[in-house]
Structure 1
Amino acid sequence: MDPVVVLAADEAFAMPLAVTVRSALENLAEGRKLQIYVLDGGIQESTKQRVERSWPAGRFVLNWLSVDEQLFAKLPVWGHVSQVAYYRLLLPKLLPEHLSRVIFLDCDLLVCGDLSELWQCDQRGFLCLAVQDCAAPYIDAMLAIENAENCCPHLGSTMPIENYQELGLNPLMPYFNSGVMVVDVDGWRRESLSQQLLDCLEENRSYIRWWDQYALNVVLADRWGMLDPRWNQGANVYNFSRWDRSYYDRETYLQVLEHPFIIHFTTKFKPWKITCIHPRRKQFFKVLDRTEWSGWRPPKFDSAHSMLEFLKTQQRRLRYASRRFLSSWSR
């Protein structure tokens, strides 16, 4: 069976959607197709046609699924994230009944590996397979990581679920990123998981961090399985200047850093923004130039705010280069 892939996007993420899927199709095994379902958050019809023309004909079957935004109207959003981030929580309700298992992908990815290999991963009885979040690898990293003193200053969060004690969660449990998941949709249906996830968000509203991930890591605690970390290389891996300043062992660190199966442009600094300093940003535009958005590049300064953001970017770029330089001398 060909891989079944689900993504969620609105008009603002139509271009990155085109790039993500284009990269997946270009690295898919010969003779395979992708069965693609896009949870549509209001993409214009002309943009949908542009997206579809961005992908090689004959390698995919595309289904657009409209989503009622009112289902998510009360859920909190801020920063660069919209309600679309929550669509994945209702996969059993939004997808056709005959789909029992899917790969869910965010739309800020570059797929470098063959998704048919991810599709063939053994579910092992878990409701979800995912990758430990390299920006927040544990429920309480200060307790879970042996070299916490060296590693924790480089994390996005040492405690992504602040009220974990009240919820009875083990602080040593890994915490996963929801941008790449292999989902047992039938299992979610049996467990009425979507309602559990929505209830979790409602009951813990004041503690929500990273939107859908909060609920997924609370409700799926002990019920998700780990994927090879190369299937979701988060941007935070580049904050670790050396393997011994990360929570990885040396071999895993080098594999994730140098040979990712999927590059995930986590954080608000997306490659299509002038503020992005991600080391693999150029790869994004190489794929972009094979889509209907070929030649597009972000405008540098369209406002005083964008100028300020650009200056902040240069400051971050200098800090990043300094860390790398100093670490090379200390080896």
Structure 2
Amino acid sequence: MDILNNSLKNVLKYQYSNTQKISNVHIAYGIDNNYARCMATSIASFCINNPNLQFTFHIMADRLTLNTKNKIEQLAKDYKINIYVYEINTNFLSTLPTQIHLPMATYFRFILPLILKNEKLLYYIDADIICLQNADELFDIKLGSNIIGAVPDLSWMNKKRNKALNLTEHTYFNAGMLVIDIKKWNEFKTFEKVIRAIQSEPKKFRYLDQDALNLILTKHIQYLETKFNCIDTDSINKNDIVLLHFAAHPKPWNIAFPISKICNSFNKSLYSYYEKQTPWKDSKLEMPRNYKEMKLYARALKHNKNYLKSIYWFGNYLINKL
């Protein structure tokens, strides 16, 4: 499988780092244009909370608009960092299944270890993750003989997905944050095995590449603390959270987030604070893009404790902002 020749169309290089620090942390994202604003917010949060580190950000992307590319370049200028955008030809992935909230871009992340084959470690980060504090402890993690480092998923997900995948003596991990030993990943032919597994039984993998990674990499995982990929803020001391993952829907940049049951006093303004430090600072909250999102937003209204108040808020937002 000649993945690089079949997938990589172009590389955009926004090189604005003016330092020569000893350590260079490589962080990767896989996005389409819809997730550019939150990815930029994630990048800003890493830079703001880790000013002593030199980052290189790698973005695997499809169909970014010119406006988005210009904003990404401005982000690189503002934070004096290097950002590389790898434009992907999705034709060779066209036979793989997708979902509304798991688009083709979910597979992009796994191509980068082939491109960065001369680097040691790669930190893959979902675009809806923000860094809340210094992350030195994460970047100092040793994987030993393991291929990846990952955080166990929620307990109900662990039980449900292990049963579906027929995995025993395995702890199901969330693939939103991965520490990847590039050499071991490539030697194990991880990407090829993941793709073949999904193609052979597409209905088996409800969570697509995440399910497949759990299946393929079982026994090759260094499990990390929840604070490095926190999904449930009630399960941890909030002061300990290093990476906060907005895994559920609606997202903080969606119109329904402030009235959803997943919005609380701790996370309500975190995302917007960091987004205001990016070229997307003046972006409006997003309306639902499809029927499924409309159902999610309706459910958010229904489950809100202050139902009438939330309806009033929602209506006023529509009148004043749209």
Task: Quote how far apart the aligned CAs of 1:96 are.
Answer: 3.1
Measure the CA separation in 1 of the matches of 2:291 and 2:204: 33
> Do structure 1's residue 132 and structure 2's residue 152 form an aligned pair?
yes
> Do structure 1's residue 261 and structure 2's residue 242 form an aligned pair?
yes
Runs of at least 5 residues in structure 2 that lack an aligned partner in the other structure: 1-22, 308-322
RMSD: 2.6
Instruction: State the TM-score, normalizing by the size of structure 1.
Output: 0.76
Partner of 1:184: 181
Runs of at least 5 residues in structure 1 that lack an aligned partner in the other structure: 142-158, 241-252, 321-331
- Superposition map of 1:111-150 within 5 A: 111-134=131-154, 136=156, 138=158, 141=159
Partner of 1:164: 165
1:271 to 241, 245, 252: 252
Measure the CA separation in 2 of the matches of 1:305 and 1:201: 24
Contact 1:37 1:64 in 2 (8 A): yes
> Do structure 1's residue 37 and structure 2's residue 37 form an aligned pair?
no
> Do structure 1's residue 62 and structure 2's residue 57 form an aligned pair?
no
1:308-330 C-alpha deviation (Å, 9 max, x unpaired):
6544212223299xxxxxxxxxx
Partner of 1:151: none
Task: Quote how far apart the aligned CAs of 1:44 are.
Answer: 2.1
Contact 1:55 1:291 in 2 (8 A): no
Partner of 2:48: 26
Letter of the aligned partner of 1:254 in structure 2?
I
Task: Quote how far apart the aligned CAs of 1:134 are.
Answer: 1.9
Contact 1:14 1:47 in 2 (8 A): yes
User: Which SS does the other structure have where 1:179 is aligned?
Assistant: strand
Contact 1:89 1:197 in 2 (8 A): no
Contact 2:152 2:174 in 1 (8 A): yes
Task: Quote how far apart the aligned CAs of 1:269 are.
Answer: 1.6
Task: Quote how far apart the aligned CAs of 1:51 are.
Answer: 2.2
- Superposition map of 1:213-292 within 5 A: 213-234=210-231, 237=232, 253-255=235-237, 257-276=238-257, 277=260, 278-279=263-264, 280-292=267-279
Contact 2:116 2:182 in 1 (8 A): no
Partner of 2:130: 110
Partner of 1:243: none
Q: 1:259 to 1:202 in 2, by over 3 A?
A: same
Q: 1:190 to 1:273 in 2, by over 3 A?
A: same
Letter of the aligned partner of 1:208 in structure 2?
F
User: Which SS does the other structure have where 2:305 is aligned?
Assistant: helix
Task: Quote how far apart the aligned CAs of 1:111 are.
Answer: 0.8
Contact 1:15 1:51 in 2 (8 A): no
Task: Quote how far apart the aligned CAs of 1:36 are.
Answer: 1.1
Partner of 2:38: 16
Contact 1:54 1:290 in 2 (8 A): no
Contact 2:76 2:83 in 1 (8 A): no
Measure the CA separation in 2 of the matches of 1:81 and 1:301: 16
Contact 2:126 2:177 in 1 (8 A): yes
Q: 1:265 to 1:126 in 2, by over 3 A?
A: same
Instruction: State the TM-score, normalizing by the size of structure 2.
Output: 0.78
User: Which SS does the other structure have where 2:206 is aligned?
Assistant: coil
Task: Quote how far apart the aligned CAs of 1:125 are.
Answer: 1.5
2:110 to 48, 68, 89: 89
Name the structure where strand makes up a greater proportion of residues: 2
Measure the CA separation in 1 of the matches of 2:251 and 2:215: 27
Partner of 1:75: 96
Q: 1:315 to 1:64 in 2, by over 3 A?
A: same
Task: Quote how far apart the aligned CAs of 1:109 are.
Answer: 1.1
Measure the CA separation in 2 of the matches of 1:264 and 1:303: 23
Q: 1:311 to 1:91 in 2, by over 3 A?
A: same
Percent identity between the aligned chains? Answer: 18
Measure the CA separation in 1 of the matches of 2:288 and 2:97: 30
